[in-house]
Amino acid sequence: MTDAIHLPATASSRSRGPALRGLLVAESDRDISVRVDGGTWTFDRRDVVRLTADRGGADQREVQVDIRPGATADFTRRMRVELVDRPITLAPEPSEALGDDLLAKATRGWATRLRIAERGGVSGATFTFRDGINCDSLD
């Protein structure tokens, strides 16, 4: 899984966020991998502005990593896998549209991207909670 960390390209070093802190788990001429609470970040060495040792014991090397704006990184999460009769999949992220207004706004954006014309006299998206199940629908 590859995600981009979006930082403003014109930001000075003072306006950038704090350094990433974690355990250095791998270091090569190409990559640097740092384990944090949620998983492991892997950066291209060319994107690392500064790598400084933080506190830590002899067997654990805690570090702080500063990266350049616009860097691209891989993030790996550790997950438990249950073997079943279907392929391994990840559940989609939950929708940020909580409530009727946000769901209607998300639906309008989705319909616009898919070039679906709105019908007059129809209220659009609805959000209901029935029998313990969230239901999203286009009316």
Identify the pLDDT of residue 110: 82
Average pLDDT over residues 91-112: 79
DSSP 34-85: EEETTEEEEEEGGGEEEEEE-S--SS--EEEEEE-TT-EEEEE--------S
- Are 22 and 36 in contact, with CB atoms under 8 Å apart? yes
- Are 74 and 5 in contact, with CB atoms under 8 Å apart? no
The CA distance from 46 to 77, in Å, is: 23
Give the three-state DSSP class for 13: coil
Identify the pLDDT of residue 100: 80
- What does the pLDDT look like over 24-77, one tens digit per residue? 999 999 999 999 988 999 999 999 999 888 765 556 689 999 999 888 899 998
The CA distance from 111 to 116, in Å, is: 5
Cα 68 to Cα 4, 16, 34, distances in angstroms: 12, 10, 16
Instruction: Tell me the whole-structure pTM to 2 decimals.
Output: 0.51
Nearest 5 degrees, angle CA 27-CA 30-CA 35? 40
Average pLDDT over residues 84-90: 80
Asked whether residue 10 carries a pLDDT value surpassing 50, the answer given is no
